[in-house]
Structure 1
Amino acid sequence: MLGTIIFNALWVGFLGGILASLVRIGWEQLFRTEEDKKTEALSIGGGVFIDFSRGIFVLSSIVLSIVFIIWANYDSSITQGSGTLFGLIVWIIIDQIYRVLKKEKQFFWHLPWQQTVAEIVGFLLWGWAIYLVAIGLPISGVYF
């Protein structure tokens, strides 16, 4: 039973994580500032650049999607709000606690309110996209 849940969570989480990361990256593109556009990218030649921060975001999105699916199989209360509750929890833990402690960014009350609202909505959409993939593939074990 546990092996089946984990196996299904791996491949559904992989798909959900990729889709959710693309949704969030697309959302961020609407609200980028000049400071955000100055990312470090590695040129591999021929005008092709690799942005490692986006790659790490996609990988972490896949891992968190797998965590969401396994969590939802054992405690369906995390699916309240159609996955947006999970997105809000991730925003608080990752963006407001972890990244602030590492001094990568400031607390949200030190940022312009427009940037904070755009980040929160981005995380809510991210969590919702994971939820939609999970319920769209019934083998994940996540239901309404």
Structure 2
Amino acid sequence: MLATIIFNALWVGFLGGVLASLVRAGWQQLFRTEEATKTEALSIGGGVFIDFSRGLFLLMSIVLIIVFIIWANYDSSITQGSGTLFGLIVWIVIDQNYKVVTKQKPFFWHLPWQQTVVEIIGFLLWGWTMYLVAIGLPISGVYF
């Protein structure tokens, strides 16, 4: 049974992680500041750039939705708030604690409040999208 849950979580997690990361990137693209658009990207020629931060977030989304699906199969309390609770937990643990400790960015109270609101809403939409994909594909085992 665990092998079936993990197998289903892998392919549903891949689909959901890609979609959720695109939703979050699209949301944050609406509210980009001039300094936020200056990212470290690698040019591969012909005007094509690779943005490693978005690539890492895509991989993180895939891994975290797999964790979300496996967790929801054993304890459905994580689906409270239709996945937005999970998005808020990820924002607190990863975006606030990990990135601050590794000095990738300052605490949210050192940023403009508008940027913090956009980030929080982006993670809430990200978690909600993961939840919608998980319940939309019933093979994942996550239900209402």
TM-score, normalization: structure 1? 0.98
The answer to whether the aligner puts 1:74 opposite 2:74 as a matched pair is yes
Query: CA offsets, 1:47-66, max 9 Å, x none?
Result: 21111111111011100010
Query: CA offsets, 1:61-113, max 9 Å, x none?
Result: 10001010000001000000000000000000001111011111111111111
The equivalent residue for 1:63 is 63
State the number of aligned residues: 144
SS of the residue 2:142 aligns to: coil
- Structure 1: which 5+ residue stretches go unaligned? none
Offset, 1:40: 1.3
The equivalent residue for 1:83 is 83
State the AA in 2 paired with 1:62: I
TM-score, normalization: structure 2? 0.98
- Structure 2: which 5+ residue stretches go unaligned? none
**Equivalences for 1:72-111 in 2 at 5 Å?**
72-111=72-111
The equivalent residue for 1:123 is 123
- Choose 119-128 or 32-41, whichever is displaced more: 32-41
SS of the residue 2:35 aligns to: helix
**Equivalences for 1:11-30 in 2 at 5 Å?**
11-30=11-30
Q: Provide the rounded CA distance (Å) in 2 between the counterparts of 1:56 and 1:77.
A: 28
Query: CA offsets, 1:7-26, max 9 Å, x none?
Result: 00000000000000000000
